Amino acid sequence: MHAPTRLLVRSAVPRLRPARSLHTTILRTANVAPVVGTGPPPEAPLAENANKAYERVERRKRQAEMLKSAKQIRTVAEGKKGGVLQKRFWQDVTVREVDGALQVFLDSRALRHPNTKEVIPIPLSKPNLASALALEWDQLTSAQEATRSHLIPLTSLVCRALDIQADDAAASSVETAPIRTSIVNTVMRYLDTDSMLCWAPPAGPYDLKNDAGESLRDVQTETAKETLAFLTSKIWPGVTITPALDGHSIMPRSQSPETQAVVRSWISRLDAFEIAGLERGTLAGKSVLASARLVAEWSEGSANTGDALSGQLFGAEEAVRATNLEVDWQAMQWGEVEDTYDVNKEDVTRQLASVILLVSGTGKA
């Protein structure tokens, strides 16, 4: 026996939806008050008030002139466009020998240190440096450009060397001079992360190789081998320099205490121009090894080691290639970013070339 089936009967009563309440407000027109003037009408102008009007105009002219003069003074102080600094106050730039040193003259004014206001003397053995310094100032188009350090990089570098020289003379000993000590500590920090000692891991099956079949690691080790041979045979004999990054490690390894002591001692004995050049080269190329080789091969001072190891001097372009191998390799693989790679390369080349100008002289020029 089957169970009875129940059928749902739809109710015939319609469902009522809830009513929606509408609120209205009574429209009222705005009651705008009429605009009327208050007070008595102005008096009619008299003849005697005409002179007062002229005086008022003259007073406003004087105030405008005073404001213009004040604005011009502020413009000159801030170095903005439209001031006196926009004009070049010299016509010719020359190099003269004065009191046993070379000096750069802007017309009849000797070039001075921006901080100490003393004349900048260049040793007689560095005529190329003096000529390059004069050329730098001859290319300026206004006095305002002389206030921007990035437009006078060689002047800043020479002043840095003169500051080190003055600081060494004021200290009780060269080793305790504050500026020299600060430079040594800064440069030594770059030794543990030297760009020439950070090598890529061994190449895998899908890694890029050049036309000679070499990987990035092969090129890095071959480039570093030549520089290390020069340094360990002519500058730091008997020193062992190990790579900072090797294999798949991500944490740099420090050099041995013996190596650090030898390198620190060599840097501390450099003269003012040599240590200033070493600092500039290290900060530009992020490599103590490349900067040390530049100073050693081009210096006219005590750091000079004689002839180059391979018979050819290690110049600025060679130093740029040695310190930017990984960047060049990435650009070869993925392409260059316009106005980025080329601009950075030219800037590093300029800074390393200024090191050569600073340390070289008649003995090595």
The Cα 137–Cα 148 span in angstroms is 12
Phi and psi, residue 112, nearest 5°:
-120, 160
Where does a domain end: 114, 149, 184?
149
The reply to whether 203 falls in a domain is yes
Kindly state whether residues 199 and 327 are assigned to the same domain: yes
Query: Chain centroid to CA 66: how far?
Result: 40
Kindly state whether residues 118 and 242 are assigned to the same domain: no
Where does a domain end: 149, 181, 200?
149
Per-residue confidence (pLDDT) for residue 174, from 0 to 100: 81
The string of DSSP letters for 322-365 reads HHSHHHHHHHHHH-PPTTTHHHHHHHHHHHHHHHHHHH--TTT-
Domain of residue 212, CATH code: 1.10.3580.10
Kindly state whether residues 285 and 186 are assigned to the same domain: yes
Where does a domain end: 103, 123, 149?
149
Phi and psi, residue 156, nearest 5°:
-65, -40
The reply to whether 95 falls in a domain is yes
**Residues with pLDDT less than 50, the chain:** 82, 309, 365
Angle at alpha carbon of residue 193, lines to 191 and 195, rounded to 5°: 95
Domain of residue 83, CATH code: 3.30.2180.10
Kindly state whether residues 291 and 262 are assigned to the same domain: yes
Kindly state whether residues 340 and 219 are assigned to the same domain: yes
The reply to whether 320 falls in a domain is yes
Kindly state whether residues 314 and 176 are assigned to the same domain: yes
Per-residue confidence (pLDDT) for residue 119, from 0 to 100: 93
The string of DSSP letters for 229-297 reads HHIIIIISTT-----SB-TT--SPPPPPHHHHHHHHHHHHTS-HHHHHHHHHHHHHHS-HHHHHHHHHH
Kindly state whether residues 263 and 225 are assigned to the same domain: yes
Kindly state whether residues 137 and 213 are assigned to the same domain: no
Domain count along the chain:
2
Domain that holds residue 88: 65-149
Q: How would you classify the pairing of strands 109-110 and 101-106?
A: antiparallel
SS3 content of the chain, % helix, strand, coil (to 5): 50, 5, 45
Kindly state whether residues 345 and 280 are assigned to the same domain: yes
The reply to whether 29 falls in a domain is no
What residues are paired with 185 via a beta bridge?
none
The Cα 335–Cα 146 span in angstroms is 37
Kindly state whether residues 89 and 196 are assigned to the same domain: no
The reply to whether 330 falls in a domain is yes
- The whole-model pTM stands at 0.73
Kindly state whether residues 292 and 169 are assigned to the same domain: yes
Kindly state whether residues 192 and 285 are assigned to the same domain: yes
The reply to whether 289 falls in a domain is yes
The reply to whether 294 falls in a domain is yes
The reply to whether 42 falls in a domain is no
